[in-house]
Structure 1
Amino acid sequence: MSSELVSSAATRLAWVRSRMTLLAGVREQFAVTQPFAGHRIGMSMHIEPKTAVLLETLVAGGAEIVATGNHGSTQDDIAAYLRDQGMTIFGARDDNEGQHDAHVWGVVEAKPDILLDNGAGLVARLAELGPVDHIVGGTEETSSGSYRLRAELADHVTFPVIVIDENPLTVINENKHAAGQSVVESFMRITNLMVSGRRFVVAGYGWCGRGVAHYLRALGGKVAVVEVDEIKALEAALDGYRVANMFDLAEWGEVFITATGHPQILGTEFFDVVADGAMLVNCGHFDWEIDVLALRDLAIDSTVIDTAIERIDLPGNRHVTLLADGRMVNLAGREPKGNSIESMDLGFLLQALSLERIATSAATLEPGAQPVPDSINRDAARRMLAAMKADR
């Protein structure tokens, strides 16, 4: 079975790798410069084909890899392939939360000196251990993780962490257009329902929320936005969306999509008033935006329709439909694809260059969470323009 998984992954990866030309260029560069020689990189991030190409690039630069996926998003054939290539990879797609937590601890206990984090899971475990002196620095992929690094974990981040989401290239390319497109595609793929004419409520008008709203409307959806930040709410209104609070929209919406990075956006009070038949979808990194535990406490009954669709019956002869168990719908749902290959080629180029900066020049950076250095952004932009042949 393992050999079949490896063979399947190799075929998929050949296609993905052939489309990630930016990483191909930096992989050749790293093979010569060896910026990660002598470094062990610990990763907690989605294990899927595009991430595998990033890991291959880091290995070409001399890195030793010890990694686990995020809960519910590991693709087992890709994990098997990476193990076959000599990397230490923990976890499987069907792991429960306890097993996943043990795998994250496994990465931490391997004592990597560079972190490649997604949601600050590795930093959170390190914080439980107390002061550590073996960490050179790391990267954080998400805005959700950056919130944690600057709030609950701030006192523990005694090394530089470059936040990949905090740069203009990522928010426009990866968050707005790639995440927006893939979330809407995943909703359509999982439910086999059309967008046109359907009423959607998007919670959060950050870059991912902007993208989800944009692609829903482009396909004919009727879109309302919930946003607590007055300036972003005004922007949503000027962009032509209905803007209201969640409870005013509870009866109007047919599909509710959370994109905030914050917990319990949809909670008990909302479940008590939401319209019969509403669909609940999360595209934020953490599976806490929809309070699934509270929803199950309210439930009279539930029916699993398939691996990504669950009908939950509520008091008052009502029901809601939960997609992907409240996890990130474009990576935890059925046929997970995530963001487009091209968008992640640029995003992972930023990752690779930022990790190179950590490995070679961490002492020049301040401790704590910080944006991608401007010089890296401009280097990546020049590479992307050349790859796009934008002058033609």
Structure 2
Amino acid sequence: MQVPADVTNLELASKGRERIEWAAQAMPVLASIEEDFKKERPLEGVNLGACLHVTTETGRLMQVLKAGGARVALCASNPLSTQDDVAASLVAHDGISVFARRGEDRDTYFRHIHAVLDIRPRLTMDDGADLVSTIHTERRDLMDGILGGTEETTTGVIRLRSMAEKGVLGYPIIAVNDANTKHLFDNRYGTGQSTVDGIIRATNRLLAGSTFVVSGYGWCGRGVAMRASGMGARVIVTEVDPLRALEAVMDGYTVTTMDEAAAVGDFFCTVTGDMHVLRREHFHKMKDGAILCNSGHFDVEIDLPALVDLAVQRKRIRDEVEEFLLPDGRRINVLAEGRLVNLAAAEGHPSSVMDMSFANQALCAAHLAQNGRRGGKAQVLPVPVEIDRKIARIKLRSMGVAIDSLTPEQEKYLSSWEMGT
């Protein structure tokens, strides 16, 4: 019997299955976890509601969660990130409820979130915290039945920590984003490569010799700056945090204010998790043909309403490029409607790096199913160290990399205080 779902076209399922299989080839950590899950069934009988980017890698994670015994329902965490063939394949071939259509409007987006919540999840899995936010504002009847949740991205963790600090968070949530095997690799190498990939696919412009402005020098910003520089661009970093700004200087980048950078940039990429990083006063200074994009989770980092207000004309000039004509004849180009350019204009992070991120999701879900609220209060929790280390060990083994072990003498030395110089 077909599961409840709302996807664009089930006839795309065969193509989606092939693309999930291709992603799986580069995800050995999840494959190892899947084998354990099939034997141990740590999620047996658990309803799990997920709000994630519906990509091939997410498809593979859903298969692993189901192998662990979970009843899964999935919706999109961004209206433009859904890969319709993947959504169709999960419904048709894996019997997983998916509520996601690429390009869905805001009403459909939240209707799909409610459809996932209708399974009354015991665990939640979020990317951006929209699922959790909806539970706390509109579906509080579900709260007592939830054991815990996980959060995938920086923006979501920021929202959840705000909720915890204000005393409104209703159940414990593990910050998967903060695992070392997540943010050191996914945020840096994944965001770096996929963002540049999205920009090039959208524009077919040359980065070499251009001036590329990166706003925000967290792990994602580091990755974007590194890859843009590697493609031959002159990179300028803007920051509000003095420590991160200092690090960017030490890494060899020019650091200045956005007021200064606005006049010289050819490409602008925001990765801050904040709003209106590029705004009206910056648009006034930008050169003709400037290209703006965002790789932060929500579409608020570029003040699009202000740009619309300034423009005398706007038109879609390429599939993922919208041109805004200003009164003085300058043109400013916005990629992917200001949404995540790496997912809206490309395919998101490479599978090999999402392998570790989603391994954290799977193992943290199993951990919560076994431990849940036991002995803990509603707060944002770190990924257990043993999970982080287990994922790193499996990943190294899959890459054919061996590492040393401490000798008994070394262990004794590291645990003692008596042995000094």
TM bucket, shorter chain: over 0.9
1:371-386 counterparts in 2 under 5 A? Answer: 371-386=382-397
Q: Kindly name which structure, 1 or 2, has the bigger radius of gyration based on alpha carbons.
A: 2
User: Which of 350, 359, 382 in structure 2 is aligned with 1:349?
Assistant: 359
User: Which of 110, 116, 119 in structure 2 is aligned with 1:101?
Assistant: 110
Residue 137 of structure 1 aligns with which residue? 148
Q: Is 1:179 matched with 2:194?
A: no
1:56-71 counterparts in 2 under 5 A? Answer: 56-70=63-77, 71=79
Q: Is 1:8 matched with 2:18?
A: no
Q: Is 1:78 matched with 2:86?
A: yes
Residue 270 of structure 1 aligns with which residue? 282
CA contact under 8 A between 2:202 and 2:318: conserved in structure 1? no
CA contact under 8 A between 2:54 and 2:100: conserved in structure 1? no
User: Which of 320, 324, 336 in structure 2 is aligned with 1:308?
Assistant: 320
User: Which of 13, 33, 39 in structure 2 is aligned with 1:26?
Assistant: 33
1:113-192 counterparts in 2 under 5 A? Answer: 113-129=122-138, 130=140, 132-152=143-163, 154-192=166-204
Partners of 1:140 and 1:381 lie apart in 2 by 20
Runs ≥4 residues deviating over 6 A:
none
CA contact under 8 A between 1:304 and 1:310: conserved in structure 2? yes
Which amino acid is the alignment partner of residue 127 of structure 1?
H
Partners of 1:354 and 1:266 lie apart in 2 by 36
Partners of 2:69 and 2:212 lie apart in 1 by 47
Partners of 1:137 and 1:352 lie apart in 2 by 13
User: What secondary structure does 1:302 align onto?
Assistant: strand
Q: Is 1:53 matched with 2:63?
A: no
Q: Is 1:255 matched with 2:267?
A: yes
Which amino acid is the alignment partner of residue 105 of structure 2?
N
1:34-49 counterparts in 2 under 5 A? Answer: 34-49=41-56
Please give the per-residue CA displacement for 1:138-193, whole angstroms capped at 9, x wherever unaligned.
10000100111111565332211111111222222111111111111221122111
Partners of 1:212 and 1:16 lie apart in 2 by 23
Report the identity percentage: 38
Partners of 2:367 and 2:322 lie apart in 1 by 44
Q: What TM-score do you get using the length of structure 1 for normalisation?
A: 0.96
Please give the per-residue CA displacement for 1:109-155, whole angstroms capped at 9, x wherever unaligned.
33211000010001110111347211110100001001111115653
Partners of 1:373 and 1:119 lie apart in 2 by 21
Which amino acid is the alignment partner of residue 388 of structure 1?
M
Which amino acid is the alignment partner of residue 359 of structure 2?
L
Residue 321 of structure 1 aligns with which residue? 333
1:175-324 counterparts in 2 under 5 A? Answer: 175-324=187-336
Which amino acid is the alignment partner of residue 104 of structure 1?
I
Partners of 1:259 and 1:165 lie apart in 2 by 15
Q: Structure 1: which 5+ runs fail to align?
A: none
Taking only aligned residues, the RMSD between alpha carbons, in angstroms, comes to 1.5
Partners of 1:107 and 1:48 lie apart in 2 by 17
1:350 to partner: Cα distance: 0.9
CA contact under 8 A between 2:267 and 2:290: conserved in structure 1? yes
Partners of 1:196 and 1:325 lie apart in 2 by 25
Q: Structure 2: which 5+ runs fail to align?
A: 1-7, 404-421
CA contact under 8 A between 2:322 and 2:333: conserved in structure 1? yes
1:365 to partner: Cα distance: 4.5
CA contact under 8 A between 1:45 and 1:117: conserved in structure 2? yes
Residue 331 of structure 1 aligns with which residue? 343
Bigger shift: residues 363-372 or 316-325: 363-372
User: What secondary structure does 2:212 align onto?
Assistant: strand
Partners of 1:365 and 1:57 lie apart in 2 by 27
CA contact under 8 A between 1:108 and 1:125: conserved in structure 2? no
